[in-house]
Structure 1
Amino acid sequence: MKILSGAGPVTKAVILAVVLVLAGLGGWAGWTLLQPDPSCGQGVEKRGPRQECTGVTDGAYPFTPLLTEVSQRVKEENDRVVGEKDTPYVTVALMISLIGDNEVEQRRILGEVQGAYLAQYRANHLSSGEKPAIRLVLANPGRDGAQWRPVTDQLGEMAHSTKDNLRAVTGFDNSTSPFRDAIAHLTRDLGIPVVGGTITADSIANSPRNPKAYPGLVRIGATNREEAAAIANFDKDHGVKPADSLLVEDQRQGDNYIDTLKEAFAERTKGSPYQSELFSAGNSLPMDFNRMVLRICETDAKVIYFAGRYQQLGVFLQELGKRACRKKDGKETSYTVVTGDAANTLASQLAADPGFDWSVFSHGITLKYASLAHPDMWGDPPTGEMSRTFQELSSLMTTATKGSGGKQSVGPISPRSWYDLHDSRTMMIHDSVWTAVSGIRRNTGKDNPLPSLQDVTEAWYRMHGKSGKVEGASGWICLDNYGNPYDKGVAIVELDPRTKSIAFDGLAWPTGRPPSEDCAAPNGG
């Protein structure tokens, strides 16, 4: 039987009637019932006050025009996988907000979907025939993840469908409360393994204090605290002292990214002679920052640690650039503003914003931040054992993006044009899906062609050591017993005003040095 995809409007009453008939016939429990809406597509329906198209698609519905080509490639690969009768397959979901309000957000989303597709392509075509095959679906919880509950429940149904065989959910590119709640529901209530992509908040993780906070969750990137430790080690190697620092922090509570960044930077600035400068997001923010900058001018601080979101960071940089104290005692003043990886989004927006005054960076201002990955972190050309997967990913960016007839597709990516790699997200989402694939296949054998959800969760405990680590494009992923990567490398980058791009500054490590080849956390880590 084949579910009709080209039918006209179908009401929920008719769907319910069909379900009752099928239930009476029996033998149909393996089919996932997707709830189509005539204005969206199969598995996708309008929800919320903005009536956004949310739900799960195999690539048939692109959500936005910019995703059309990559969605088509995903759909083609999925159809090929499902069409091979004698090859078992499982489904991996990418769950991110797939609708952006502007071109910068949409291009970020495009890069993330590209990364997921390239991991799927790599798994199915460049893994020496390893099984099962990988089917990829795109799960959209709407803007800000507001519709996470119905979408995660939809994924829960797919986990128990023999048509879908969903075995892991990946992605989660934001440390926000809706994504935290979605991860909790998937792992605690539905028993579905999750691989976080670019979540960095320390509070969305398992830990020695709460080892089952999110059972089945693993993360592949450094936390805010680890980013701060890597920055501290990098700064220490470059002569920066806490006594020369000052902390600027957002007073908001409840934002996991901001909360953990404040804690991490507070530790970093211990010994500073200056109390933290506080701000609150609002209409008076430029005036608030203007007054704050007057106070900063009175200090001898040289490094400013900024604990806040990128929207406020942009305003702060403008006011700091216009400061009255560009010269002090006859000498030009200079400040290095240091922050977390959310600044990647700001960098992309500033590059596309014709109204941003780039001259602020000509007045002694440097923006430096931790990034979860960067294409130059392994050298140019990339070398070394940790760069093998990155080299494979970069070469795939042409071979895997050719559609039927050799047509170039899936966006502006090529092996020597790093547009979609500079902000780390393509690399990190690739690694998120690749880690899920590794967990699935490592517990697959002759007598177990389709691992269970629990099998995949159990695989997380073996992802360390020389033979067990996952080799990602962003570096080795060596999980501790709580599903967190041990000593994951952090790219220290800065915004280059000359090229209006993200420039690589150096590679830093939370422990101060790269992990050994053994790649395992110490006892109690």
Structure 2
Amino acid sequence: MPNVISRYVRTPRRQLVAALVTAALVLGLGWYGFSRLTQPENRSCAPGVARPADSDECIGVNGTGHDFGFADLKDVAEAIRAENATLKDDEYVTVAVLLPLSSTDAGMRIKVLHEVQGAYAYQRRANQESNGRRPTIRLVLANTGQGNAHWRTTVDQLVALADGPERLRAVSGIATSSTEMREAVTALTRAQVAVVGTTITADDIANGPGRKPFPGLARVSPTNSDEADALAHFGRVDAAKALLVQDTRSGDHYVDTLKAAFAASLKNAPLEPQEFTSAPDSTQEGTTANTFTNITHLICDTRAETVFFAGRHTQLRQFINALGDRGCVDRAFTILTGDEGSYLGADKKLDRKALQHKLTVRYAALAHPDAWKPAPGRTLPRTGGSEQAYADFVTDIAKAAPKDRPVALADGQAIIAYDAMATAVHAIRQATPDGSAYPSKEDVGTQWPQVKGSLRVEGASGWICLDNYGNPYNKAIPIVELAQDGTQRFVQMAWPKGKPPTDTCLPPKR
């Protein structure tokens, strides 16, 4: 019988082999650890996109199908990639859509998706259904991150693209009236990159008489002042029976200019505004729901019948929920607000029962799918927009979407993004000299003063006639009501000037 113990006796030879194996393992693992420490971590997400050192978001610019971690963008991002792949190198220019594509806010994600879908629909039309006009359009998606926190990284990339072989000639999107977006627009326009804002409505992210802080900026949405004027013409509100509820958080250009516009409309109102302060990130719930419970008690103490609300959509929803549960439920109230009301239709936290308690919610929309469609008992305005322009959009958006997943249109975001792309392409092609394949970057933003009269853009949301400062003149503003079932019902078209523009659509001298 063999000596079992002898198997475990470490002879000199075995000791040498064990030492060599151990050394090899230590050296191998050491080299692996050393290489991990000395080689930079690969933080790339896709071509042109990477995770910053302090973030897990994929930030940057891409036109090859990357969805920025947002699965709902996958289909449209892939469609953009496929369209871009068909373009000849010497015939295209690039347009970027600048948005917080990796936002985690539910409302913003829906907005982002619809804007990208609208932009792609017009890219497809520009390339495939514009009688062979040139240059063709390459579309890229540019992500500024949650709360637009990484706007600088992405804007620096865009500026480089404008001077490189990709020939970036316009940036669309700019979907929020925030300080970050104001700074982004400033940086882009100072670099002579043309910008077309989709849903920015703040009066102070605009050019005007005696001031052009953003040379090369155009917008396809009305200002907050125009929204307030349209609401005033529509509602003919008795200021003696009106009250303003406003956010005191500073630095939000949408809120700041909206409350100033509402205050101007209510200068004869007898009571001071009721105030609340939202969280630094207005998409967060914060403690404002408690404040609104108190404000509804005070509203019941007034003679008010109409409440103007100057705040973002999260706080608007909280306020509606609170007012629906008010003590004076026997009294009827109407809430009037700006285009942030368009988020309400998809907000699952909205208490729709509140709308059954003599509470009407109406807002000035940027676009609505029923605004330019004929309906029984309603005559379409003769000027300011057209049934045909909207019908063309419907055809384009249907071709651009998967057959089993049509694009939702009720919030107006796809419509307005389509119009922004149409405006950008119009300026790019107008700026292209005879005999040239594409325009210089400097020339695109100089086209805005000529986008009017017979050179206007026949937008799906209405005529886009720009003044000398790049702002839409007397733009059609649909008044929309949030119905009791949560649908967003078109009520009536309103106009900042009280009536539609003339046939010529030429802004008067200021």
1:344 aligns with 2:345: no
The whole-number CA distance in structure 2 between the counterparts of 1:62 and 1:295 is: 47
Find the counterpart in structure 1 of residue 399 from structure 2. Answer: 399
Find the counterpart in structure 1 of residue 255 from structure 2. Answer: 258
The whole-number CA distance in structure 2 between the counterparts of 1:274 and 1:156 is: 49
Find the counterpart in structure 2 of residue 234 from structure 1. Answer: 234
CA contact (8 A) 1:59 1:138 kept: no
Find the counterpart in structure 2 of residue 203 from structure 1. Answer: 204
CA contact (8 A) 1:45 1:53 kept: yes
1:396-436 deviation per Cα after TM superposition (whole angstroms, max 9, x unaligned): 2232336xxxxx37x433xxxxxx21111101111111100
The whole-number CA distance in structure 2 between the counterparts of 1:521 and 1:14 is: 60
Residue 149 (structure 1) shift? 0.8
CA contact (8 A) 1:250 1:279 kept: yes
Find the counterpart in structure 1 of residue 367 from structure 2. Answer: 373
The whole-number CA distance in structure 2 between the counterparts of 1:126 and 1:145 is: 34
Find the counterpart in structure 2 of residue 271 from structure 1. Answer: 268
Residue 14 (structure 1) shift? 10
SS class of match (2:297): helix
- Write the mapping of 1:510-525 to structure 2, written as runs, cut at 5 A: 510-524=496-510
* Counterpart code for 1:491: P
Residue 226 (structure 1) shift? 0.4
The whole-number CA distance in structure 1 between the counterparts of 2:95 and 2:42 is: 23
CA contact (8 A) 1:37 1:46 kept: no
1:191 aligns with 2:192: yes
Aligned residues: 461
- TM-score, length of structure 2 as denominator length: 0.87
Residue 308 (structure 1) shift? 1.0
Residue 280 (structure 1) shift? 1.8
Find the counterpart in structure 1 of residue 443 from structure 2. Answer: 455
Residue 445 (structure 1) shift? 3.9
Find the counterpart in structure 1 of residue 30 from structure 2. Answer: none
The whole-number CA distance in structure 2 between the counterparts of 1:37 and 1:364 is: 58
Find the counterpart in structure 2 of residue 496 from structure 1. Answer: 483
SS class of match (1:124): helix
SS class of match (1:47): coil
The whole-number CA distance in structure 2 between the counterparts of 1:335 and 1:97 is: 35
Residue 294 (structure 1) shift? 1.5
67, 73, 91: which one pairs with 1:62? Answer: 67
Find the counterpart in structure 1 of residue 387 from structure 2. Answer: 387
SS class of match (1:394): helix
- TM-score, length of structure 1 as denominator length: 0.84
1:350-375 deviation per Cα after TM superposition (whole angstroms, max 9, x unaligned): xx34xx43211111111111000001
SS class of match (1:52): coil
Residue 461 (structure 1) shift? 1.9
Find the counterpart in structure 1 of residue 327 from structure 2. Answer: 324
Aligned-residue RMSD, C-alpha: 2.1
- Write the mapping of 1:459-498 to structure 2, written as runs, cut at 5 A: 459-465=447-453, 467-498=454-485
Find the counterpart in structure 2 of residue 19 from structure 1. Answer: none
Find the counterpart in structure 1 of residue 109 from structure 2. Answer: 106
1:206-238 deviation per Cα after TM superposition (whole angstroms, max 9, x unaligned): 01131x2101001111010100000000012xx
64, 80, 86: which one pairs with 1:80? Answer: 86
Identity %: 40
The whole-number CA distance in structure 1 between the counterparts of 2:400 and 2:311 is: 38
* Counterpart code for 1:317: I
1:157 aligns with 2:167: no
1:256-276 deviation per Cα after TM superposition (whole angstroms, max 9, x unaligned): 011001101101112112221
Residue 102 (structure 1) shift? 5.0
The whole-number CA distance in structure 2 between the counterparts of 1:317 and 1:485 is: 31
Find the counterpart in structure 1 of residue 7 from structure 2. Answer: none
Find the counterpart in structure 1 of residue 181 from structure 2. Answer: 179
46, 52, 57: which one pairs with 2:51? Answer: 46
CA contact (8 A) 1:480 1:486 kept: yes
The whole-number CA distance in structure 1 between the counterparts of 2:65 and 2:354 is: 45
Find the counterpart in structure 2 of residue 7 from structure 1. Answer: none
Find the counterpart in structure 2 of residue 134 from structure 1. Answer: 137
1:466-507 deviation per Cα after TM superposition (whole angstroms, max 9, x unaligned): x21111111111011111010001110011112x11111110
Find the counterpart in structure 2 of residue 357 from structure 1. Answer: 351
Unaligned runs of 5+ in 1: 1-10, 16-35, 327-331, 403-407, 414-419
* Counterpart code for 1:398: A
Residue 200 (structure 1) shift? 0.4
SS class of match (1:67): helix
Residue 103 (structure 1) shift? 4.7
Residue 394 (structure 1) shift? 0.3
The whole-number CA distance in structure 1 between the counterparts of 2:39 and 2:419 is: 41
The whole-number CA distance in structure 1 between the counterparts of 2:224 and 2:119 is: 24
The whole-number CA distance in structure 2 between the counterparts of 1:127 and 1:322 is: 53
The whole-number CA distance in structure 1 between the counterparts of 2:231 and 2:124 is: 35
* Counterpart code for 1:497: Q
Residue 289 (structure 1) shift? 1.8
Residue 37 (structure 1) shift? 5.1
